[in-house]
Structure 1
Amino acid sequence: MDPSPGRTSRQRIGDSGEELVAHHLLSQHWQIVAQQWRCRWGELDVVAHKGSTLAFVEVKTRAVADGIPLHLAQQFRDPSGLGAIGSRKREKIIKTAQAFLATHPGWTEWHCRFDIALVQHRDPALGATSSSGIPGWSLYRYIPAAFEVEF
């Protein structure tokens, strides 16, 4: 993973998580339309399409301390990142997706859905295993159609 220069450590971890998800989607025969697409309302982490479906993917990357697997760390504060996608965040994602569609009218007739990808990052020095083939990084959970909106 090639972190972006000039970004904070937290931003670089997020960037790497988004890149991991984009590679996962490509391996599942999706085509990436956009990554880190920004407008005044916010940012879309990954936009991808397959068949007649356009997916707006929100990626949440969490670093797990001391190499504790997420399934064992449920007592810690939001270890997966899923809790960070509440109603306000969803509204922001939807508004940003509407702006994306307004500037890309070719996609407006497609079925749109909102997916959530949860990525785990652990220090590879701790012997972390990886489902991605990249030491320390794994796609913990991918939730297709986590929420849907009719445009």
Structure 2
Amino acid sequence: MTRHVRGRTAHLAGAAAEDIVARRYAGVGADLQAMRWRGEAGEIDLIFELAGATVFVEVKKSGSFATAATRLGPHQVARLWQTAEEYLGTLPGTAPRDCRFDLALVDDRGHVEVLENAFA
């Protein structure tokens, strides 16, 4: 398999995982605000409004939940914080907002495990 094909396959698998996670959040009443929101610092996979809070979701897919969880390093977490601050700066108003970061893990069978408030 060529590098191009592997990259395309990984991209499609990641997009499918994000769709699965988005449907799961929608099922509990979350309102999708953005998918793959890109700022200067980086990208946030999914952003929802849920019960008055902004929920930033990083999606990681792998063969198992344990392996998926290892795919998030400290540099990426720092970029996610910066990108979230940038996103919040685009919203109207200046009042502080309740926010959290969730980590959604997706295995090869499409099962999802969500770690709420994963960066606290």
Same fold judged by TM-score > 0.5?
yes
Deviation string 1:1-28 (CA, Å, 9 cap, x unpaired) is xxxxxx7110110011011100000001
Aligned: 1:138 with 2:104:
no
Output the aligned Cα RMSD: 1.9
Matching residue of 1:50: 50
1:1-150 alignment to 2 at 5 Å?
8-62=8-62, 64=63, 70=64, 79=67, 81-106=68-93, 109-121=96-108, 136-139=109-112, 141-148=113-120
How far 1:40 moved relative to its partner? Answer: 1.9
- The answer to whether the Cα contact below 8 Å between 1:114 and 1:147 also exists between their aligned partners in 2 is yes
More helix by share: 2
Contiguous gaps of at least 5 residues in structure 1: 1-6, 65-69, 72-77, 122-135
Letter in 2 for 1:138: H
CA distance in 2, matches of 1:104, 1:36: 17
Letter in 2 for 1:84: R
Contiguous gaps of at least 5 residues in structure 2: 1-6
CA distance in 2, matches of 1:106, 1:93: 22
Q: Aligned pairs, how many?
A: 114
CA distance in 1, matches of 2:8, 2:93: 35
- The answer to whether the Cα contact below 8 Å between 1:29 and 1:50 also exists between their aligned partners in 2 is yes
Bigger radius of gyration among the two: 1
Letter in 1 for 2:84: A
**Range with bigger deviation, 85-94 or 102-111:** 102-111
- The runs of 4+ residues in structure 1 deviating greater than 4 Å are none
Letter in 2 for 1:83: T
Identity among equivalent pairs (%): 27
How far 1:106 moved relative to its partner? Answer: 4.6
